[in-house]
């Protein structure tokens, strides 16, 4: 990567000096290479991990035809078409307890849901439609052959790829793998993320606040975001605004971590030592990204470790995380076929004011109006330091570089928080 802190030429917009967010997203994403190391873990430990090799089923699922209902199993061709017909009840099959005989034409076996279909049967009449007289089941005409039976392999076929490599395993995939008898899987190792906050003003929660200080909130936000994304996090505390200490902290972090994430200290203020230290230790791109909240943002490398320098303002930390860091982390963790996070349209009930030539991300509340249509309202003040707005919101409203202020009644793009991670 080029040294580029004085020179924004790759994606520099000469009119504003700002990098469009889409350009920044692409540049970061393209420079990430997936981790290659894998490990084998048991299925309960595999939640949220990324599968390294495609899984194939060695069996049909379900493995045998079975009843979908409680009822009576018969041969479909023996079903009455005009008159009521009696079938002799030979026995009972339960889920996990098959009936081992063979059912003849005018015979039936009582079955419960999940019971293996007895030999000679292919249809189930639900028990509510059957009258029992002694050892006879009386069945009316009008039933369909093959009804209420789940066929072998109708969920998954033997030899079929059930979960692709590069899939992040959700509860559904754990179940799919378990249904084919797989109890251990090979997954990519978790990346290690070292997190620092920077700033002389920062104190730790639990300490007594000194005059002019604030509590560090970014580190807690970032540790939560990274854990939710599936990284192992090393909490490296606060680095003061001091060049030597910044240098020392970053050079020790690079030995422990795949990625180093700092917040604050990446603007061009005189107390912003992160960029200077990065220039000394590795390579760094510093961008003023045309998104609010968000700029500035730094991306680089120290040895083998990736470096992400996020802004200091807490809401900007979250926005840049979602836009730039999370996709990079997913790629690093071996995920393929990254689906973009869903964006839907909702009618604004409050204005969303914006300046031209930059994207804006607003904290908002998505709900439904009296007709059930999606509507979205701002949480109020949108300052990039107002972290409480993130906690009140359940979605972002996204306005693009080219959009203008949205007025009440306009349809706007909404990105619900649920499903972001
Ligand atoms: P900076 O980019 O370092 O100039 O910080 C921009 C703003 O974000 C300043 O008001 C900082 O006090 C604030 N800030 C920086 N780091 C944190 C943090 N870890 N927690 C809360 N606020 C922060
Ligand atoms: Mg600072």
**275-301 pLDDT tens trace:** 999 999 999 988 899 999 988 999 999
Same domain for 197 and 178: no
Binding site membership of 213 for ligand 1 (Cβ less than 6 Å): no
- pLDDT (average), residues 349-358: 94
267 compared with 321, residue with greater pLDDT: 321
Same domain for 383 and 282: no
pLDDT value at position 338?
Answer: 76
Binding site membership of 264 for ligand 1 (Cβ less than 6 Å): yes
Structural domain contains residue 311 = yes
- At which of 188, 211, 242 does a domain end? 188
Instruction: Centre a 10 Å sphere on the Cβ of residue 283 and count the other Cβ atoms it contains.
Output: 16
Does pLDDT of 11 surpass 80? no
User: Tens digits of per-residue pLDDT, 356-385?
Assistant: 889 999 999 999 999 999 999 999 999 999
- At which of 281, 308, 332 does a domain end? 332
- pLDDT (average), residues 315-327: 96
Residue with the two structure tokens 């029992």:
132
Same domain for 302 and 194: yes
pLDDT value at position 295?
Answer: 87
* Closest atom, ligand 1, to C-alpha of 387: 21
Residue identifier of the C-alpha nearest atom 23 of ligand 1: 312
Same domain for 316 and 287: yes
Q: What is the CATH number of the domain that holds 53?
A: 3.90.105.10
Binding site membership of 311 for ligand 1 (Cβ less than 6 Å): yes
Segments forming the whole domain that contains residue 277: 190-332
- Asked if residue 319 lies in contact with residue 361, where contact means CB atoms within 8 angstroms, the answer is yes
Same domain for 213 and 104: no
What is the CA(198)–ligand 2 centre distance, in A?
6
Contacts of 172 (CB under 8 A, 6+ apart): none
Q: What is the CATH number of the domain that holds 119?
A: 2.170.190.11
Three-class DSSP category at 171? helix
Structural domain contains residue 201 = yes
pLDDT value at position 13?
Answer: 43
pLDDT value at position 286?
Answer: 86
Structural domain contains residue 309 = yes
CB contact burial 374-412 (16+ within 10 A = b; e otherwise): bbbbbbeebebebbebbeebebbbbbebebeebeeeeeb
Same domain for 168 and 202: no
Q: What is the CATH number of the domain that holds 389?
A: 2.40.340.10
Binding site membership of 267 for ligand 1 (Cβ less than 6 Å): yes
- pLDDT (average), residues 399-419: 93
Same domain for 404 and 348: yes
Alpha helices, DSSP H only, in 261-306?
A: 274-281
- Asked if residue 286 lies in contact with residue 241, where contact means CB atoms within 8 angstroms, the answer is no
Same domain for 208 and 223: yes
Structural domain contains residue 277 = yes
- pLDDT (average), residues 141-166: 97
Does pLDDT of 238 surpass 50? yes
Same domain for 394 and 269: no
Q: Which ligand is nearest to the CA of 266?
A: 1
The domain total for the chain is 4
* Closest atom, ligand 1, to C-alpha of 269: 4
Residue 14, judged by CB atoms within 10 A of its CB (0-12, 13-18, 19+), counts as exposed
For residue 313, cis peptide bond before it (omega within 30 degrees of 0): no
Binding site membership of 383 for ligand 1 (Cβ less than 6 Å): no
What is the CA(250)–ligand 1 centre distance, in A?
18
Same domain for 308 and 380: no
State the first-to-last Cα distance of the chain, in angstroms, to the nearest integer: 29
Same domain for 95 and 54: no
Binding site membership of 314 for ligand 1 (Cβ less than 6 Å): yes
Same domain for 203 and 131: no
pLDDT value at position 389?
Answer: 96
Structural domain contains residue 17 = no
């Amino acid at each position: 990567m080029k040294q580029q802190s004085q020179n924004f030429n790759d994606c520099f917009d000469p009119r504003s000096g700002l990098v469009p967010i889409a350009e920044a997203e692409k540049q970061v994403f393209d420079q990430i290479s997936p981790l290659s190391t894998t490990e084998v873990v048991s299925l309960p430990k595999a939640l949220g991990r990324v599968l390294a090799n495609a899984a194939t089923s060695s069996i049909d699922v379900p493995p045998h035809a079975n009843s979908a209902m409680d009822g009576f199993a018969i041969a479909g061709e023996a079903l009455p078409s005009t008159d009521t017909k009696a079938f002799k009840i030979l026995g009972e099959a339960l889920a996990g307890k098959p009936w081992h005989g063979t059912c003849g034409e005018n015979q039936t076996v009582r079955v419960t849901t999940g019971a293996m279909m007895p030999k000679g049967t292919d249809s189930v009449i639900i028990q509510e439609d059957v009258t029992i007289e002694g050892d006879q089941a009386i069945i009316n005409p009008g039933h369909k052959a093959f009804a209420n039976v789940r066929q072998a392999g109708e969920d998954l076929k033997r030899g079929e790829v059930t979960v692709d490599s590069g899939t992040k395993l959700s509860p559904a995939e754990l179940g799919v793998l378990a249904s084919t008898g797989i109890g251990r899987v090979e997954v990519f190792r978790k990346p290690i993320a070292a997190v620092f906050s920077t700033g002389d003003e920062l104190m730790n929660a639990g300490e007594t606040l000194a005059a002019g200080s604030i509590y560090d909130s970014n580190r807690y936000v970032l540790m939560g975001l990274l854990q939710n994304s599936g990284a192992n996090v090393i909490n490296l505390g606060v680095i003061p605004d001091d060049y030597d200490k910044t240098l020392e902290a970053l050079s020790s972090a690079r030995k422990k971590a795949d990625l180093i994430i700092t917040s604050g200290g990446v603007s061009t203020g005189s107390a912003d030592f992160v960029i200077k230290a990065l220039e000394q230790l590795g390579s760094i791109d510093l961008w003023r990204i045309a998104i609010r909240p968000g700029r500035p943002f730094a991306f680089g490398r120290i040895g083998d470790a990736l470096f992400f320098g996020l802004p200091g303002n807490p809401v900007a930390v979250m926005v840049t995380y979602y836009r730039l860091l999370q996709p990079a982390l997913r790629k690093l963790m071996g995920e393929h076929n990254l689906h973009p996070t869903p964006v839907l349209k909702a009618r604004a009930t409050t204005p969303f004011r914006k300046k031209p030539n930059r994207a804006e991300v607003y904290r908002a509340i998505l709900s439904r109006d009296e007709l059930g249509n999606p509507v979205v309202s701002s949480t109020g003040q949108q300052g990039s330091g107002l972290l409480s707005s993130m906690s009140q919101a359940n979605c972002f409203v996204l306005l693009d570089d080219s959009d203008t202020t949205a007025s009440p009644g306009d349809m706007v793009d909404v990105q619900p928080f649920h499903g972001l991670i």
